[in-house]
Chains A and B, each alone.
Chain A
Amino acid sequence: MIDRQKYVRNFSIIAHIDHGKSTLADRLIEKTGFLTQREMHEQLLDNMDLERERGITIKLQTIRLVYKAKDGNEYILNLIDTPGHVDFHYEVSRSLAACEGAVLVVDAAQGIEAQTLANVYLALDQDLEIVPVINKIDLPSARPEEIKNEIEDVIGLEAQDAPMISAKEGINIEDVLEAIVKKIPPPSGDPEAPLKALVFDSYYDSYKGVVAYIRVKEGRVKKGDVIKMMAASKTFEVAEVGVLGLGQLPVEELTAGDVGYLAASIKDVKYCRVGDTITKVNNPAKEALPGYKKVISMVYCGIYPADGEDFNNIRDALEKLQVNDAALIFEPETSVALGFGFRCGFLGLLHLEIIQERLEREFDLNIIATSPSVIYNIYRHDGTVLQIQNPTNLPSPTEIKYMEEPVVNANIMTPSDYVGPIMELCQNRRGVFINMEYIEKTRVILHYKLPLNEVIYDFFDALKSKTRGYASLDYELAGYQESKLVKLDILINNELVDAFSIVVHEDKAYERGRNMVEKLKDVIPRHMFAVPIQATIGSKIIARETVRALRKDVLSKCYGGDITRKKKLLEKQKEGKKRMRLVGSVEVPQEAFLTVLKFDEKK
């Protein structure tokens, strides 16, 4: 082993959501003496507002720490942050592939959760050394000894000497650093071999172009090298390499074992995908690092400007977001009801929600999103197969022989008290029970096979409300199954509103249709005429409601000659109308497009 590698440790922190990953990262940064306490922002690594609000990490941030260990040596600790949510499996797996070890944070009160396990399995896939850490020992409900046993029993990791910490209170953080140094192996890899560097994240910088976060597995790379992105098959000249302190610190070169960044005037993020391998044009590596895959979008929806003039602004914003988020895909589409917009693909529902919120908050755009959809396989009588993700594009039912929908294996971890309600929920969502495992006396994992189109439809919220937030969910795609699916349309004032169309299982169509028309009835304002709202399958009406005609819209008494105030009130009303979508002659508020997505599972 080369000497400089001996004092390097590359690691991630993995945890179930809210078990304290980001807080621990902050403490590690603080303890390594990088910053004074005053300079520390709370939750230093999560730098997007949205993340802070939701308490989850969306985008990776990586940082290099310098730690003087008890053995007297100074170590470089590259902390590679990972997103903490089920939608970002692939990104997590690539981050882990850049490490030799992972710190597994387990909440001393809650114990192992669904994503704890999912992340552990990912780490084990990469042969990482896992360092368990028991966090939140300051909580009155903490039961660290039990949790240690749980880690040993459920995961099979030695946990008796796991550091017992409170990241929030700063207790025993030193133990974590020592465990990282002692337990996680240093990187290996031949600096003289042909270059192989793994891209585990990238973002767009307006000066440097795409900046890749890389882990050099073999060889070395420096400014001026002509490199090749092996999957993208593109070559670039390296403009800068460096390490990630607080900000980017340019260095001469990065060699095997190092984690750092690389800029090569790459103009388009699609040439620098997460998981790709960088090599040199001269003396290239024979084969790329394993594990690269093109990210597959699992959930789709249409995103439209609330104000038609914003079309180009939305495209610009999506392009900007895509630059840092290769998993986001989009293409222009047209809706009869909503005009020009984009069909967008996401990793999952959370990813979708995050993008929507970022468009609204960071880019200050007013958008309308259509019902989320998944990809269906359509087998036609003529033997051809179609893949459709926009319900509007479904061929006529007479052409369809049968349809298939994607299913997932869902693992739901829950206190055993909630098994009943969860089973009921899964049953309602057409789930097929696989089995149930006891983790301990009062906690179980339920394994279900669930259609993805049921999961994307408000499943998380329903699960949370049924279990008072105690259950956790993890899922992975498990192929396709034949299913009796129908297209459910919504007609407002006898006009089909394509943006509301959904594909739904035959047995659920009536319930969904009823639910949608009832919701729409509440959000569509009264017009000067009665507005019928119908849910239909083909030509069959399965549910109907009517928004009664507006009978009264008057301002209060003539207010002592105060015309100005009256004008302001009316202008406000006019503004409100402008934000509505005209469907035929009916004004539909944006809210309508959001509310139909929520199911409000009956308690």
Chain B
Amino acid sequence: MKSKLGIYVHVPFCVKKCLYCDFCSGTNLDTELVANYFRALKEEIDLYKHLSNDYVVDSIFIGGGTPSAVDPRYIDELLNHLYKWFEIEKNCESTIEVNPGTIDIPKAKDYRSAGLNRMSIGVQTFNDHLLKKIGRIHNSQEAEKTLSDIHQAGFLNVSVDLMFNLPGQSIDDVTSDINKIVDHDINHLSYYSLKVEENTPFHSMLKNNQIQLASDEQEREVYHKIIEMLGKKGLIQYEISNFSLPGYESRHNLKYWSREAYLGLGLSSHSFIDQQRYSNTTNLDDYIHDLLDKRLSRSEGELIQGKDIVWEYLILGLRKTKGIEIEAFRAISDSYYNEYKKILDTLEMNGLIEFDTTHFRLTGLGMDLSNSVFVELLI
């Protein structure tokens, strides 16, 4: 039987770069560049078509950047190309990321007819003042409109991205965002805490005191409040930053956390195939140049083996609220089991993880200190 494969396609184009963004994306929407990029993507798909011998695709995720910033015909052609070379399951979860201000009903309908069945919308917040502050191009009215537009266009499987810990964002702002979002018909929510990354405008603004962030204590208080509030509305936390109605967990995201195979296409994307990890170049010109020459533009594969498998299994699995099944972990960790068990016991003693009869998982404190937990597990 063939194994399942997830496919991620990166579209590194945006109308405008947000002030906190350190993703690989640019704002050059020059038609020839975009056309070349999608030509390169198709070449890349060709170079991977042999995978269809062993894999059947059950999730596609077109992310960015802002995939909705480019002409929808590119998305259509891209999906057609995938359908041409890969075996795509009938109920494949096919998601596209869109941002308010770059999408309307016709475009959404185009996506529907191209075969997409799920949409992830970068709302971030409904507070106009905050949207402006973080450099988004849309306002709350446009966000609301996008939510109703896509519904009208037939997208029933909808995820929204929200952010907290934004500079100057109060707990009331967060509560108001949550109340607004549950009014719309969504079944999935990614709620990320703003982290100021180096080489972003926010980083220098923070250093120059132009923006201020909440203390760690305040930030965590908000985080736990969010989990509580969303839970009451039926959006259950299933991963550190992800919430959904039961049964609507993102198949694509779960692949990352369950160490299942995924193929990354496009600039700066990552792949995990046959226990090997690859990463594509982050240089747009190199990417296009290499692929148009019918060459992959990726790193040497890094084979994950031995202890590293166990560690990955742990740090990815622990992100999920369900946690890790004890028996499955025993099988995976094999000869390393005792070594890891000792650390897990210490972590349990410190209140960072908890065991029940079948699983172990991060506690609330463990989620706040997940990094420390993962570091402890590095042996």
Contacts and interface: CB of A to CB of B under 8 A. Distances in A.
Which one of B253, B367, B371 has the highest number of Cβ atoms from chain A below 10 Å of its Cβ? B371
B220 interface: yes
B162 to A, nearest CB: 12
A86 to B, nearest CB: 42
Contacts of B374: 555, 570
A561 interface: yes
B195 interface: yes
B164 interface: no
Contacts of A1: none
A574 B311 CA distance: 14
Nearest to B379: A574
Nearest to A552: B216
A560 B8 contact: yes
Interface in A188-215: none
Interface in B205-241: 216-217, 219-220, 240-241
* Size bracket, chain B contacts: 35 or more
Contacts of A562: 270, 279
B240 A554 contact: yes
B197 A528 contact: no
A551 B216 contact: yes
Given A551-B216, A552-B220, A573 B279 contact: no
A571 interface: yes
Interface string A549-577: 01111111110111110110011011001
Contact of B350 (A528, A564, A566, A573): A528
Contact of A571 (B8, B256, B271, B378): B378
Nearest to A571: B378
Which one of A528, A560, A561, A567 has the highest number of Cβ atoms from chain B below 10 Å of its Cβ? A561
Given A560-B264, A563-B312, A564-B277, A555 B8 contact: no
A558 B192 CA distance: 10
Interface string B300-323: 001000001001100110010000
Nearest to A577: B375
Nearest to B255: A561
Interface string A497-534: 00000000000000000000000000000001000000
Interface string B41-85: 000000000000000000000010000000000000000000000
Which one of B197, B256, B302, B367 has the highest number of Cβ atoms from chain A below 10 Å of its Cβ? B256
A584 to B, nearest CB: 14
B372 interface: yes
Contacts of A574: 375, 378
A128 to B, nearest CB: 58
What is the predominant secondary structure among interface residues of chain A facing chain B? loop
Contact of A528 (B63, B269, B352): B352
B368 interface: yes
B29 interface: no
Contacts of A555: 370-371, 374
A570 B271 CA distance: 20
A171 to B, nearest CB: 49
Nearest to A562: B270
B262 interface: yes
Nearest to A585: B350
A556 B375 contact: no
Contacts of A564: 270, 277, 279, 302
Nearest to B252: A561
Nearest to B378: A574
B241 to A, nearest CB: 7
Interface residues of A, number: 22
B272 A563 contact: yes
A554 B224 CA distance: 14
A552 B219 contact: yes
Nearest to A561: B270
B371 A557 contact: no
A564 B257 CA distance: 14
B10 interface: yes
Which one of B63, B269, B270, B302 has the highest number of Cβ atoms from chain A below 10 Å of its Cβ? B270
A552 B369 CA distance: 5
A17 to B, nearest CB: 38
Which one of B63, B195, B372, B378 has the highest number of Cβ atoms from chain A below 10 Å of its Cβ? B372
B193 interface: yes
Which one of B192, B316, B378 has the highest number of Cβ atoms from chain A below 10 Å of its Cβ? B378
B372 A553 contact: yes
A558 B256 contact: yes
A577 B269 CA distance: 31
Interface string B234-261: 0000001100000000000100110000
Interface string A259-271: 0000000000000
B371 A570 contact: yes
Given A528-B352, A563-B277, A553 B370 contact: yes
B195 A557 contact: yes
A44 B374 CA distance: 53
B103 to A, nearest CB: 21
Interface string B312-350: 100110010000000000000000000000000000001
Contacts of B371: 553-555, 570, 573
A234 to B, nearest CB: 53
A563 B316 contact: yes
A492 to B, nearest CB: 18
A556 B197 contact: yes
Contact of A551 (B220, B311, B370): B220
A552 B63 contact: no
A528 B372 contact: yes
Nearest to B369: A553
A550 to B, nearest CB: 6
A476 B219 CA distance: 58
A570 B375 contact: yes
B261 to A, nearest CB: 11
Interface in B1-30: 8, 10, 23
Contacts of B365: 528
B146 to A, nearest CB: 22
A577 B197 CA distance: 22
Nearest to B372: A553
A121 B370 CA distance: 66
A365 B370 CA distance: 33
A100 B206 CA distance: 66
Contacts of A551: 216-217, 220, 368
A578 to B, nearest CB: 10
Which one of A554, A556, A571 has the highest number of Cβ atoms from chain B below 10 Å of its Cβ? A554
B369 A528 contact: yes
A562 B219 CA distance: 25
B309 to A, nearest CB: 11
A554 B270 contact: no
A560 B63 contact: yes
Given A528-B369, A552-B369, A553-B370, A558 B253 contact: yes
Contacts of A528: 350, 352, 365, 369, 372
18 contacts: A551-B216, A551-B217, A552-B219, A553-B371, A554-B193, A554-B367, A555-B370, A555-B374, A558-B241, A560-B63, A561-B264, A563-B256, A563-B272, A564-B279, A570-B378, A573-B371, A574-B375, A574-B378
Query: Which 4 pairs from chain A and chain B are nearest by CB?
Result: A552-B216, A553-B371, A556-B195, A561-B270
Given A554-B195, A558-B319, A567-B312, 14 more contacts: A528-B350, A528-B352, A550-B369, A551-B220, A553-B371, A554-B240, A554-B367, A557-B192, A561-B256, A562-B270, A563-B277, A564-B270, A564-B277, A567-B308
